[in-house]
Amino acid sequence: MRIAVAGGTGTVGHHVVELARERGHDVASLSRAEGVDLVSGRGLDEALQGVDTVIDVSGINSTATKKAVDFFTNASQNLLAAEKKAGVQHQVVLSIVGIDKATSGLYAGKLVQEDIVRHGGVPWTLLRSTQFHEFVPLVVKTASAGPVVLVPKMFTQPVAAREVAEALVSAAEAGPQGRITDLGGPRLEELDGLVRAYLDRTGQRKKVVEVPLPGLMGKAMRSGALIPAPGAAVGRQTFMEWLEASSGTYRQEK
């Protein structure tokens, strides 16, 4: 199968590209670094020539609602238009568990993306997953103010990015299925505890201050609304196992 991976250089995307190739598929990675811009549509028509299935794991590094909505609106519409021109038969999309309960920021953008895909005219499969283990170092990077890390009060069930990639490639191989079973990690955790474990493992002396965020997003984080419902698929690797395996890399990068 010829598979194109939108966002193929990202946290999940590079795993998708690698796994799909390991399974014998012909894979094209779509990213700005590789000459394809989803927002403007540049390079999409050429990149999707001969493609059977698109796996969309594209994203934006912003928590601003307007930026997220604009990105996913433009990217999804351009991708669908190019897919129709190229005769793509299946689009697999990665979304986020609980976005119905937290309709702001990135989650608002993903809701728009889901709606566009559902009504876009290309057969689709949608997988919602929880935050990846890499979410924790991202929080430390973006929420640090000197020696302090301001951590949202949040229940989370983080999952390995590679396991999400496995689910996406399997979905591509299975053909269009609509929304499939949500995927979460193996343990329910509190975000502040994960941040403390990460700081300790990487030798960073920072004080963790837990902050309850306002609005629907903060309420969803605190209430457990971003945790998969009973019956969801469960990943294998815990956060601590991931941290043990990857902390050497993060020590070098911090």
Q: What is the pLDDT of residue 62?
A: 83
Question: pLDDT tens-digit profile of 2-43?
Answer: 999 999 999 999 999 999 999 999 999 999 999 999 999 999
- Average pLDDT value for residue range 118-134: 97
Q: What is the pLDDT of residue 246?
A: 87
Distance (Å, rounded) from C-alpha 155 to C-alpha 102? 14
What residues does each domain of the chain span? 2-253
The separation between the first and the last C-alpha atoms of the chain, rounded to the nearest angstrom, is 39
Domain 2-253 has CATH 3.40.50.720: yes
Q: What is the pLDDT of residue 103?
A: 83
Question: pLDDT tens-digit profile of 95-122?
Answer: 999 999 888 899 999 999 999 999 999 9
Residue in 15, 35, 17, 36 with CA at minimum distance from that of residue 25 = 17
Answer yes or no: is pLDDT of 153 > 80: yes
φ, ψ (nearest 5 deg) of residue 184? -130, 170
Q: What is the pLDDT of residue 102?
A: 85
Q: What is the pLDDT of residue 8?
A: 96
Top-confidence residue, 9 or 250: 9
Question: pLDDT tens-digit profile of 233-249?
Answer: 999 999 999 999 986 56
φ, ψ (nearest 5 deg) of residue 73? -65, -55
pTM of the predicted model, to two decimals? 0.94
SS (H, E, C) 6-47: ECCCCCCHHHHHHHHHHCCCEEEEECHHHCCCCCCCCCHHHH
Residue 122 token pair: 């290309």
